[in-house]
């Protein structure tokens, strides 16, 4: 089985960290192909960033289809381009927010999301509503740390994240924590040890979900909304993305 993990931003060091954690979680026989987008923003922290990340993300899905990839993980908590990627892919495509929220709802009666910048909290609420998870989600809290500062030496990021996790448990009544950024993938165990509650991050959860779907022989439906994009000519800089007949 071959799973492609796509980082929709252009920061390769984030991809490397996610790749390491995904490989550790993957079953024997599962190959992880980690890819960094070659175009777009270095971090995704707004709707604008997300929109401009989509061409690079979809190019990686199209490349995966040519290479015979079995399934995909979209490794950004905004789950950018999830539905568009499903139109292109034969196999399952799972977003990390989708995977993390569903996993948290199974292991706990409620959860809170702890994310990076305050401006992205609305995006997390939007996803919770989209996935039917709003009734489980007690709060979305921001630690106001920029994505690219998460792994900087000397950064106070980990302490700020832990503090928000504790507030979510103590003040909001959450029973588990969902980490709202792919850049937090390697912090799970340390945070869990400090707060004494389950902590879920979506990269590894999505890898295991894709593994299960592929093992069950389940791919993406090709009727209706997830059918291949209609063949047509695109113009300007996006001409190379013009859909063609399958």
CA dist 132 and 222 (Å) reads 23
CA dist 23 and 102 (Å) reads 21
- Is the pLDDT at 148 greater than 90? The verdict is no
Same domain, 80 and 8: yes
**What pLDDT, on the 0 to 100 scale, is given for residue 194?**
95
**What pLDDT, on the 0 to 100 scale, is given for residue 246?**
59
Q: How many domains does the chain have?
A: 2
Using CA atoms of 34, 39, 41, 47 in order, give the dihedral in degrees to the nearest 10.
-100
- Is the pLDDT at 243 greater than 70? The verdict is yes
**What pLDDT, on the 0 to 100 scale, is given for residue 154?**
67
For residue 239, count other CB atoms closer than 10 A to its CB.
Answer: 9
Q: Can you spell out the DSSP letters for 107-161?
A: HSS-EEEEES-GGGHHHHHHHHHHTT-TTTEEEEEE----GGGTT-TT--HHHHH
Q: Which of 5-19, 61-75, 83-97, 150-164 has the lowest mean pLDDT?
A: 150-164
Identify whether 112 is part of a domain: yes
Tens digit of each residue's pLDDT (9 = 90 or more) over 87-137:
999 999 999 999 999 999 999 999 999 999 999 999 999 999 999 999 999
Q: Cβ-count burial of 28 within 10 angstroms (0-12 exposed, 13-18 middle, 19+ buried)?
A: exposed
Same domain, 142 and 103: yes
Same domain, 17 and 111: no
Identify whether 228 is part of a domain: yes
Same domain, 14 and 80: yes
When pLDDT is cut at 50, 70 and 90, the band that residue 156 belongs to is confident
Identify whether 150 is part of a domain: yes
Q: Order of strands, edge to edge, in the sheet holding 111-115?
A: 137-142, 111-115, 176-179, 199-200
Same domain, 192 and 108: yes
Same domain, 128 and 38: no
**Residue 63 region, left (φ>0) first, then alpha (ψ -120 to 50), else beta?**
alpha
**What pLDDT, on the 0 to 100 scale, is given for residue 150?**
84
Identify whether 246 is part of a domain: no
Identify whether 83 is part of a domain: yes
Domain with 27, as residue range(s), is 2-95+204-241
**What pLDDT, on the 0 to 100 scale, is given for residue 15?**
97
Identify whether 136 is part of a domain: yes
Identify whether 227 is part of a domain: yes
Residue 126's CATH number: 3.40.50.12500
Tens digit of each residue's pLDDT (9 = 90 or more) over 70-86:
999 999 999 999 999 99
- The overall average pLDDT reported for the chain is 95
Same domain, 191 and 128: yes
CA distances from 104 to 98, 135, 233 (A): 10, 12, 42
Same domain, 140 and 73: no
Q: Cβ-count burial of 64 within 10 angstroms (0-12 exposed, 13-18 middle, 19+ buried)?
A: buried
The pTM of the full predicted model, rounded to 2 decimals, is 0.94
Same domain, 74 and 105: no
Tens digit of each residue's pLDDT (9 = 90 or more) over 20-61:
999 999 999 999 999 999 999 999 999 999 999 999 999 999
Q: Cβ-count burial of 62 within 10 angstroms (0-12 exposed, 13-18 middle, 19+ buried)?
A: middle
- Is the pLDDT at 153 greater than 90? The verdict is no
Q: Tell me if 17 sits within 8 A of 183, measured CB to CB.
A: yes
Same domain, 209 and 87: yes
Q: Specify the residue for token string 């809290």.
A: 141
- Is the pLDDT at 230 greater than 70? The verdict is yes
Same domain, 184 and 105: yes
**DSSP reduced 3-state for 73:** strand
Side-chain-side CA neighbours of residue 159 (13 Å):
4
Same domain, 231 and 141: no
């Amino acid at each position: 089985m071959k799973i492609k993990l796509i980082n929709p931003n252009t920061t390769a060091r984030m991809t490397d960290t996610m790749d390491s954690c995904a490989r550790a979680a993957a079953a024997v026989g599962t190959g992880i192909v980690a890819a960094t987008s070659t175009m777009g923003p270095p971090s995704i922290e707004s709707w604008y960033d997300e929109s401009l990340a989509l061409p690079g993300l979809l190019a990686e899905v199209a490349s995966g289809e040519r290479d015979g990839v079995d399934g995909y993980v979209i490794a950004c908590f905004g789950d950018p381009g999830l539905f568009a990627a499903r139109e292109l892919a034969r196999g399952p495509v799972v977003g990390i927010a989708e995977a993390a929220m569903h996993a948290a709802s199974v292991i706990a009666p409620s959860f809170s999301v702890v994310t990076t910048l305050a401006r992205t909290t609305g995006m997390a609420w939007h996803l919770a509503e989209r996935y039917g998870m709003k009734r489980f989600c007690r709060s979305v809290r921001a630690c106001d740390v920029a994505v690219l500062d998460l792994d900087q030496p000397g950064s106070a990021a980990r302490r700020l994240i832990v503090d928000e996790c504790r507030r979510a448990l103590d003040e909001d009544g959450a029973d588990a924590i969902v980490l709202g950024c792919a850049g937090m993938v390697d912090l799970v165990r340390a945070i869990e040890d400090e707060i004494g509650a389950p902590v879920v991050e979506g990269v590894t959860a999505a890898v295991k979900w894709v593994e299960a779907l592929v093992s069950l022989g389940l791919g993406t439906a090709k009727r209706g909304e997830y059918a291949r994009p209609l063949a047509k000519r695109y113009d300007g800089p996006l001409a190379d993305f013009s859909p063609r007949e399958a």
